[in-house]
Structure 1
Amino acid sequence: MIKAENFNIPEHKPRILIAPLDWGLGHATRCIPIIFTLIHQGCTVFVAAEGPVKTLLQKEFPDLLFIELKGYRVSYSRNKFWMPVKLLLQLPKILFRIYAENRWLKNAVKVNSINAIISDNRMGLFHHKIPCIYITHQLTIKTGNRFTENIAQKIHYHYINKFSTCWVPDAAGIVNLAGALSHPAILPKVPVTYLGPLSRFKKRDVESKYDLCIILSGPEPQRTIFEKIILQDLNKAEGKVCLVRGLPSETEVPRLNNSSIEIKNHLAAEELNNVMLQSKIIISRCGYSTVMDLVNLQKKAILIPTPGQTEQEYLGGYLQEQKIFYCVDQNSFSLPEVLKSAAAFEFNTASFTVNDYENVVENFVATLRHQ
């Protein structure tokens, strides 16, 4: 169903459709601060999503208007070396979804009187008659091969250039979080605006409760594989540890012979914010949204790239080189050894302004009101 239900909105309020990609939950979580800003600016916000992305955003914004939009539904390989092949085989499906969502959009805009679109990495949500924003931090798509990277960038730019503007959630200067991913040699033809990091979390002073927080996330089967590695080491762990499994639908948790270990299937945003602040060091995947959250909270972290995800592998290496975070390969992960190495690592957590995006979003809304 395309038409959103139960609304009676004054015409002077800009009606904005926001749609995050469904590859994990990171695209959705980084849209949360943008949605808050739109709401504070008096906009009527429509969210286009399905599945876990829709569920997450409905929990954060139960009063928003949700429209069902099918995701790309990409599946991942258990073996990191087959990951690029599996993604390549799914390219026809992805291209079809881009075509289908663009047809869907034309009808959705008409039925719901949408004034503007904000698309987080959904390449088909461009429109030639109203402003449409494309959000991405991957202006360079790392594939592990220069030739295929150039092809991937050309395809990506082909779609980006159909939008009005591209917003990049990273700092504009040489001190930045994503390196070559967000700062390519050649930019798209459309205007590019750097938002600064986007994070749904808030930093504040709290007392430490945990020596270590471990946050599991990302696509299966790698989430489960990494969890098994972690659980093998946790019985021998010293100090207070909180393990967040990233499984909101689960009701039972693994039992360990260590009373100092707390295991949570899932934590809502505010609870996770608190646990991260209360932790001396954090172990997590290095998805970009997680990286932005860690920087915003100014936490020391050990990053474990998801095997086969070349973006995360590049990002982890770059952030370690900048001494912002410590990075370890999953295949060589040993909790005692990793904690020992991280203790000797000289963390240089850079200070980034995380509210730049507010001015950009506010100016965008102002232009809509004057059209």
Structure 2
Amino acid sequence: MKRILVAPLHWGLGHATRCIPIIKALLQNDFEPIIASDGGALELLKKEFPKLKAFELPSYNITYPKNGNSFKWKFLKSLPHILKTIKLERAIINKLVKAEHIDGIISDNRFGVRHDDIPSVYITHQLNVLSGKTTWFSSKWHQKIVKKFDECWVPDFEYEPNFSGQLGHLKQKLGHLKYIGPLSRFKKEAIEKTIDTLVILSGPEPQRTKLEKKLLVLLKDRKKKVLFIRGIVESQQKITKLGNIELYNYMTSDELEDAINSSELVISRSGYTTIMDLAKLEKKAVFIPTPGQFEQIYLAKELAKNLVIPYVSQEKMTQHNLQFDNLYSGFTTLDYETNYKKLFSLF
């Protein structure tokens, strides 16, 4: 068995969860995946794949400011730490490749997880990194990183209609890009709808907690069942009840798949992995982009413009606009299977 290192970025849980179908496909195609990440992303993957080897990588320590509008400047201030982390990652990966006899690398947005002597793949849906007036600079910087890898896998369709829009599509395409189709760990099941509103929380602090507190107040008077998945991965699953609201700190993939299939409406951030998951399960949703995060705002606006999913800003949430507007269609059939055998031929 060839050993493949799979290393997602810990920025919320989206990068880790979209690696789950890739890890499963590696196992099905007779590879031995090895996991590497940090924080909640690492803990989640260890729970999903308890028999696989797992290693901790240094953290990028990306957090959001309390004022979402100053996110760009906080990110720029943290750039020296990120560059230091990339250098440290490279040193750790060099040792790990030798010690664990690794044959290939799949890095989901971890800039320093690559090796010159073995095939190294980079996964991203952000070939263009939106950052307001500095979009040109942030995009070119990211594309320079992408070019250092042997291949770049974009989890989207190459042509329209697609999910990532200008984020994942360049006017002048890079030669080593592969559009591998949307990634989701879930399967659609036709089961009874027992949950009226499912809230899926994710992303770095303090914005995750700010959203949770606001939604608990706005949804406490709903008469039907409301379920919160708080997106906090801990050693033990915890369940709390507050009137009609039930809160889980986290769920496994199987549990979350069942909860989403059982729900009438999903309220969540407009993160790219969440969009791919809800599209696969053909759900109705209301999106609340993370304040100051240009990518999530762009994705939410595009879906609303195309009358697929409505969105509301975190500052303007009300009981009324957290209902699904029937002007929108919701997500419809997504019938696509990634050709993993062809994809893994690189290794």
Give TM-score scaled by structure 2 length: 0.94
> 1:73-109 CA deviation, whole Å, 9 max, x = no partner?
2122010122111000001111111122112222211
SS in 2 for 1:227: helix
CA contact (8 A) 1:237 1:336 kept: no
CA contact (8 A) 1:15 1:46 kept: yes
1:294 Cα deviation after fit: 0.3
Relative to 1, partners in 2 of residues 1:235 and 1:76: Cα closer, same or farther, differing over 3 Å? closer
CA distance in 2, matches of 1:301, 1:41: 35
- For 2:166, the aligned partner's letter is A
CA contact (8 A) 2:106 2:120 kept: yes
Instruction: Give matches, 1:1-371, under 5 Å.
Output: 13-145=1-133, 148-188=134-174, 190-249=175-234, 256=242, 258=243, 260-339=244-323, 342-356=324-338, 359=339, 361-368=340-347
Do 1:84 and 1:308's aligned partners in 2 also have CA atoms closer than 8 Å? yes
SS class of match (1:94) = helix
1:365/1:281 CA distance change after superposition, 3 Å: same
**Is contact 1:118-1:134 (8 Å) kept?**
yes
> Comparing 104-113 with 304-313, which one deviates more in the overlay?
104-113
Matched-pair contact (CA < 8 Å) for 2:200–2:229 = yes
Residues in 2 aligned to 1:47 and 1:263: alpha-carbon distance in whole angstroms? 29
Quick one: structure 1 residues 337 and 319, their matched pair in 2 at CA, closer, same or farther if it must change by over 3 Å? closer
What secondary structure does 1:299 align onto? coil
CA distance in 2, matches of 1:22, 1:321: 30
Distance 1:345 1:248 in 2: 36
| Aligned residues: CA RMSD | 1.8
What's the CA shift string for 1:225-266, capped at 9, x where partnerless? 11121111223213222222223438776664x4x3323232
Opposite residue 261 of structure 2, the aligned amino acid is L
| 2:285–2:330 CA contact under 8 A, matched in 1 | no
1:320 positional shift: 1.2
Contact 1:132 1:164 in 2 (8 A): yes
- The TM-score, its normalising length taken from structure 1, stands at 0.89
Structure-1 separation of matches of 2:282 and 2:117: 42
1:218 deviates by: 1.4
Deviation string for 1:277-296 (max 9, x for gaps)? 11111111111111111001
Select the structure of larger CA radius of gyration.
1
Gaps of 5+ in 2: none
- Equivalenced residue count is 346
Distance change in 2, residues 1:248/1:68 (3 Å)? closer
Q: Give the secondary-structure state (helix, strand or coil) at the position aligned to 2:322.
A: helix
- Structure 1: how far apart are the matches of 2:241 and 2:50? 34
Q: Is the 8 A contact 1:199 1:292 kept in 2?
A: yes
Structure 1 pair 295/272, CA: closer, same or farther in 2 (3 Å)? same
SS at match of 1:327: coil
Partner Cα distance (1:99, 1:319) in 2? 37
Alpha-carbon distance in structure 2 between the residues aligned to 1:267 and 1:292: 18
- Give, in angstroms, the shift of residue 111 of structure 1: 1.6
